[in-house]
Structure 1
Amino acid sequence: MKPPVELAKTRDFSETISDTFTFVKQNIKPLFKAFFVFSGFFLVAGTISAVFFQMKMVNLANGVMAPGPVANLDYGSSFFERFGIEYFITILLYMITLTVLKVTTFSYVAIYKEKGNLPPTTEEVWGYIKYYFWRILGASFVSNILLVIGFVFCFIPGVYLAPIFALIFPIIVFENASFGYAFNRCFTLIKDNWWLTFGILLVTWIIIYACITAITLPAALFNVIGMVMHPQKGTNLSMTASVLTVVLQHLCLVFLIIPIVTISLCYFNLTESKEGTNLLERISKLGEIKPENDLPAEEY
């Protein structure tokens, strides 16, 4: 059996990806427990809201694509009337779920390191979540806006900023930092290591995307096969397959734990290679005399 993953150390490309999956495998029970305890309510609520929204969209699409006059679609309806409150509730719950997922995973990793590579309890993780939730939510909102702006302007700025902004979140949690400090520090840490960090995150996301696609693709293909096998019915989407696809997509959010762990290891790799913080901690502890409090007092 492999020893517990040592977080604070330098890693190359393959070691970072390998240690990511090793860490998740070694901590799969307590890590997934924390995810479902703190994200479960928002995950279920978001899934239910998304199902109702998807049902509405399928009915709308089937009405538009049905044979006959195009009077099935009310072109005078507003955006809100067409999509309904389900759309906004789904987006809101999705954002909250992602934020709780980030805070939970980063908090788990932080406490794991503080406890000397031991899994934290749900009570310990909850303490961190209460402290960092709003900070991570605000950081997510601002960084997402900047990323959208970057992708709109020639796409390349968005690609450049994506791995940099990914480091904001571990900096906030691991260093108890403000957004402003984390924003400046992420540029400092990734200097001369942008390509390595980008490559690690890209490969990890490709693996995760492939896993999610493998789970959700069969339900999506059911719609395509149904339209090909029954062309006389026109372009008619299957309600069952569409709803199943949405449910599976939301359940697959658990896979996002993996890239968050990868980002954490990238952070430790960058801090160790530039600052050697873990090495300095070990050097500072050399010569320390720890009293043996469990020994009986000496009698004279």
Structure 2
Amino acid sequence: MSQPKIEFYKIRDFGAKMNATIEFLRENMGRLFLNLLFIGGPVALLMSIIFTNIFSSMGDAVGIEDESQALNFFAVLGGNYFMIMLISWLAGSMVICVSMTYVRLYNEGVAKETPVGDVLKLALKKYGGVLLLGILVAFIVFISFFVFILPGIFMLFVLPLAFATYMFEDISAPNALGRTFTLLKDKWWSTFGIGLVGYILAYVIQLVFSLPTMVVYFANIFTLIEEASNNPSDPSAVFEMFSSGYMTAAFAISMVGGYLSYSIPLIAYSYQYANLVERSEGRGLMNEIEGFDKE
């Protein structure tokens, strides 16, 4: 067991919390990448195959006039989209569990020595609660959007803090949500800012991973324009381009990047959680005092 370089329970201003997030990523990117790739890699490949199947189905559907065939096409299309939404939710919840489990292991000084399989086992213990908490958070955000758009946007960036509360404390998902509201007292705007900046950084990283998709697209765009000009009544070439093997691989890389970049705001929320706990409870200070007593 080694002492972590970055102290967790510590009062930090906005800049210090973002610096802690970046420093954590710089120190742990390789191991964290490996853990997330173990989850995100297969899921990204599955999602990319579903996407390319959708575009392939769209290409086959061009010119369908039979009503029964059209209904069958839309049923298949709707089923594929439902599968994408379901897999995204399940995989995103797993990314939350793995990312914050790794942060917790880092704070205990054992992250680098813990095998990927063991990190996954620990993450799975919290998986059901994260799924439930995701439903609760989504419901509150939906109601906030229904009341007015701005509160919905605000809650969208603030309430993910509840995942850190649940992952770092041994409490139920509903209790984690309630405790999060307690911790957020007078710190709503700083939490909003942490989430906003974290997601902006994630978006920038996601753009890098999306480059292969753009390369494949622009590599085929001139051929596509030529085919469209030769046969303007048949738009199936567009869908064929997006259902190619190259595009499947590019989609997979982009989605892996999405799962990896999603860890950035999650880590930022983790340090915001630790900051709020230290402000209200002084947990880090108490740990230091206990350490002195043992010496």
TM interval, shorter chain, is 0.7 to 0.9
SS in 1 for 2:125: helix
2:183 is equivalent to residue 182 of structure 1: no
In structure 2, C-alpha distance between the alignment counterparts of 1:104 and 1:8, rounded to whole Å: 20
2:248 is equivalent to residue 243 of structure 1: yes
The counterpart of 2:145, out of the listed 116, 140, 151, is 151
TM-score, with structure 1 as normaliser: 0.79
Q: Structure with the greater relative contact order (CA < 8 A, sep ≥ 6): 1 or 2?
A: 2
- Is the deviation greater in 173-182 or in 144-153? 144-153
Map residues 121-160 of structure 1 onto 2, 5 A cutoff: 121-122=114-115, 124-160=118-154
Deviation digits for residues 86-141 of structure 1, max 9, x if unmatched?
444433333222222111111111122233x8635136534522321111121112
Tell me which residue corresponds to 2:191. Answer: 197
Contact 1:49–1:89 (CA under 8 A) maintained in structure 2:
no
Tell me which residue corresponds to 2:269. Answer: 263
Contact 2:100–2:267 (CA under 8 A) maintained in structure 1:
yes
Unpaired runs of 5+ residues, structure 2, are none
In structure 2, C-alpha distance between the alignment counterparts of 1:130 and 1:61, rounded to whole Å: 37
TM-superposed CA distance for 1:218, in Å, is 5.4
The structure with more helix, counted as a fraction of residues: 2
- Is the deviation greater in 150-159 or in 194-203? 150-159
Which amino acid is 1:13 matched to?
A: F
The counterpart of 1:211, out of the listed 205, 209, 214, is 205
2:13 is equivalent to residue 8 of structure 1: no
Contact 1:51–1:247 (CA under 8 A) maintained in structure 2:
yes
Which amino acid is 1:182 matched to?
A: A
SS in 2 for 1:71: coil
- Is the deviation greater in 202-211 or in 216-225? 216-225
Contact 2:94–2:123 (CA under 8 A) maintained in structure 1:
yes
The counterpart of 1:112, out of the listed 93, 106, 110, is 106
Q: Name the larger-Rg structure.
A: 1
Cα distance, 1:287–1:228 mapped onto 2, change above 3 Å: same
Tell me which residue corresponds to 1:82. Answer: 77
TM-superposed CA distance for 1:251, in Å, is 1.3
Report the identity percentage: 23
TM-superposed CA distance for 1:278, in Å, is 0.5
In structure 2, C-alpha distance between the alignment counterparts of 1:30 and 1:263, rounded to whole Å: 20
Contact 2:97–2:124 (CA under 8 A) maintained in structure 1:
no
Map residues 87-106 of structure 1 onto 2, 5 A cutoff: 87-106=81-100
Tell me which residue corresponds to 2:21. Answer: 20
TM-superposed CA distance for 1:4, in Å, is 1.5
SS in 2 for 1:27: helix
